Amino acid sequence: MFNLRWGDLSAKTSRTTTITSRAITAAAAPLLEKTAIDKELSKKESIRKSSNKRRASNTTILLTSINKKKKTLHGNIQKTTRIEYNHQHQNDDRTKLVDSQSQPAPSAPLSPYIEIESQNLVNTSLIPLPSSQTLPLHSEEKFKPSFRHSASPRESLTSIASEKVLLMSSEQQSSVVQPLLTDLYQISMAYAYWKPNKHQEIATFDLYFRKNPFGGEYTLFAGLDECLKFVRDYKFHSSDIDYLRASLPNYIESEFYDYLSTLDMNDIKIYAVPEGTVVFPRLPLMRIEGPVLKTQLLETTLLTLVNYASLVATNAARFRSAIGADKTLLEFGLRRAQGPDGGLSASKYCYLGGFDGTSNVLAGKLYGIPIKGTHAHAYVNSYESMEDLCVKDLCDRITGVAHPFSELCLKYLKEIGPVLKILPEETNKGELAAFISYAIAFPTNFLALVDTYDVLKSGVPNFLAVARALHECNYQAVGLRIDSGDLAYLSLEVRAKFVDVSKKFNLPYMEHFTIVASNDINEDTLISLEKQGHSIDSFGIGTHLVTCQKQPALGCVYKLVELANSPRIKVSQDIEKVTIPGRKNLYRLYGHDGKALCDLLTRIDEPEPEASVRILSRHPFSEQKRAYVTPSSVHNLYKLYWADGEIKGPMPSLKQVRTHAREQINELRKDHKRDLNPTPYKVSVTDALFQFMHKLWMKSVPIGELE
């Protein structure tokens, strides 16, 4: 057992040596690694210190260079006799203020960077650095991942949200408007139609309302474009199907969910009156034709898209009618609206209804609505005295020479005091400082909020002093805003002071400064102001406009009127709830003066009414109310907007719809539009439709028996 050869022993010795060497190496590895790390850290520290020295040196050189350039720049300004002034906000149409003339928003997105020529801005503290003189970054900063490629889940979500905002446009449907934005009973009925194979029967639904809002006699139809986008993009996603499987009874066949997952609206048709058209109760605003399951599924979403849009557009139109066409109306309701979607919808449809602009910046971007706004009371409150002013000079618009602007304002305040019969030293100097600061920031669009302390004794004198100083620098102030108090009285007093000061300084334009009023204004306020007399040029309106406090809902309904070529009628003891059965056409008849006489519903197969041909029109529910009409012209109000899976023809822009709405309102007689006891507009049916409807009505009501 001990008989070993030398070769075997040698091999064993070699293996033992190898194992021992590996063990030693393994044991020494941590020590070697630590030594290597220490060397590397020492090397990096040395590099960092050297880099810091170089960076400090470079920074010193760079700052010295900047200071030299600033001195040279300042010297050039002083030597300049006539240089075009380039204020950083002058001629910038990106953001118009409340006082600026209404302008359409840019058609294409603008660069977020503003090129500023600062040679005439003596108060400029930040000078753009040449690309060759940018400060060096730390080596770690050079290789930081970009925002879009951040590994942080929170940053990634923020990035995605930002991209969505950047990509949003008025052509896109709000992400919340989708097939599941519906009532449960629509899904339940869909299954009930599908199970007995009834879902392919062709149905016709009418969407209409029963009563005009706000005690008036007309309504503006709005929301059609959003309805068409919804139909175009209609699709149940896999997460929708999963949710329905979990929510509905478990005995529902999986084939039903398979059917829903492939559902689209390509085989339905939508006829409608053009958006912005003046409409009336019982007129079908939209006629939806197609398989009953699909047309049924559209009900709730179409109603929610039309109800508020038409209501707030009508409210805006009534505000416009109350104040006339020569005043500026601005929608300021975002903060009071029912959520973000309500705020956006309000801005869009108030503009459609006749308002001139909005404070809602996103609505301006999405819909091309002019955006307006100046400053709040908080800005005025942020200044306590003239010592709070950091910048006190303003460059001349023409020469570029710096003026001691704050000193000019104090000088003119003293001159204005006797004219306005106030004590200049008694005006609030924090308010004056705020006005000076804002005027320096926006010398071409200066409009001040003057009711933070006292309108007549402080706000107006301070405003006029700043306005006069702006004139000295070759600018013109725009006006002021009053947000509290007796608006009629204050506006007249303020206008009188404008006139006095304009005469004092021989500056006629000053008496025409814009007066903007806000302060919880509603339709009745505007009517009262018109009766009292006032000198207000522009109104900022929010709460009562966007929340429609006078009437919070329009009450549109969606009713089945035909199925499988068989007319259907909904009867009720409440006459207003009886439906007009069958597919119908809608015409508007006009008189010789171009004003609308009445609207006429006909059966789908009746001939179109003709101009200069007498026709019998009847009240839909009263036999006694009937009249002959000989129209000078006849307009078919229905257009085919959706068929064959596409929107038919180009849709008008919001501005075009707004123009159409204004023309439509002008076609109504004044007695239909008056605020008190307006004359009801006539909605009638042909004699053939009347007879058909009442025959079906009688057939549908069971005959009782007296005992």
pLDDT at position 189 over 90: yes
User: Any idea what DSSP says for residue 179?
Assistant: T
The DSSP line for 209-270 is ESS-GGG-S-EE---HHHHHHHHHT----HHHHHHHHHHS-TTS-HHHHHHHHT---TT-EE
Q: Which residues of 462-482 are buried (b: 16+ CB within 10 A; e: fewer)?
A: bbbbbbbbbbebebbbbbbbb
pLDDT value at 227 more than 70:
yes
Distance CA 50, CA 412 (A): 58
C-alpha angle with apex 507: 503 to 512, nearest 5 degrees?
90
Residue 471 pLDDT > 90: yes
Q: Could you give the CA distance from residue 422 to residue 414 in angstroms, rounded to a whole number?
A: 10
- Among 165-169, 468-472, 582-586, 670-674, the minimum mean pLDDT is found in 165-169
Phi and psi at residue 642, in whole multiples of 5°? -140, 125
Instruction: Give first-to-last CA distance, the chain, whole Å.
Output: 128
What is the radius of gyration, based on Cα positions, of the chain?
37
Contact of 573 with 556, CB cutoff 8 Å: no
* Residue 410, SS3 per DSSP: helix
Lookup: tokens for 42: 């020492």
The pLDDT of residue 465 is: 98
Cβ distance 213 to 307 under 8 Å? no
Give one DSSP letter per residue of 76-106, joined into a string: HHHH-SS-----TTTT-TTS--TTSPP-PPP
Q: What is the pLDDT of residue 21?
A: 46
pLDDT digits (tens, 9 = 90+) for 526-551: 999 999 999 999 999 999 999 999 99
The arithmetic mean of pLDDT across residues 403-427, rounded, is 97
pLDDT (tens digit per residue) in 572-591 = 989 889 999 999 999 999 99
Q: Tell me: pLDDT of 326 over 50.
A: yes
The conformational region for residue 339 under phi > 0 = left, psi -120 to 50 = alpha, else beta, is left
- The mean predicted confidence, pLDDT, of the chain is 84
Which string of b and e fits 590-624 if b means at least 16 CB within 10 Å?
A: beeeeebbbbbbbbeeeeebeeeeebebbebbeee
pLDDT at 666 over 70: yes
Report the side by side order of strands in the sheet with 626-629: 626-629, 615-618, 682-686, 596-603, 584-590, 633-636
pLDDT computed for residue 573 by the predictor: 87
Per DSSP, the three-state class of 623 is coil
HSE-up of residue 550 (Cα within 13 Å, Cβ side): 19
Average confidence (pLDDT) over 118-134: 38
Given pLDDT bands bounded at 50, 70 and 90, which one contains residue 175? confident
The span from the CA of 394 to the CA of 438, in Å, is: 11
Predicted confidence (pLDDT) at residue 113 exceeds the cutoff of 60: no
Q: Give the tens place of pLDDT for each residue, 259-294.
A: 999 999 999 999 999 999 999 999 999 999 999 999
Question: Where along the chain do its domains lie?
Answer: 170-373+541-580+639-676+699-703, 377-536
Q: What percent of the chain has pLDDT over 90?
A: 73
Tokens encoding 289: 């034709």
pLDDT higher than threshold 70 for residue 668: yes
Listed ranges 49-53, 528-532, 569-573; the one with the highest mean pLDDT: 528-532
pLDDT-derived band of residue 43, with 50, 70 and 90 as boundaries?
low
- What is the average pLDDT across 448-467? 98
Q: Does domain 377-536 have CATH number 3.20.20?
A: yes
> 56-110: per-residue pLDDT in tens?
555 555 555 555 554 454 455 444 433 333 444 444 443 344 444 334 444 433 3
- CA pair distance 650, 647, nearest whole angstrom: 8
Other beta carbons within 10 Å of 263 = 16
pLDDT at 17 over 90: no
Q: Can you tell me the distance from the alpha carbon of 613 to that of 593, in angstroms, rounded to the nearest whole number?
A: 17
User: pLDDT tens, 630-643?
Assistant: 999 999 999 999 99
What CATH topology corresponds to 170-373+541-580+639-676+699-703? nicotinate phosphoribosyltransferase (3.20.140)
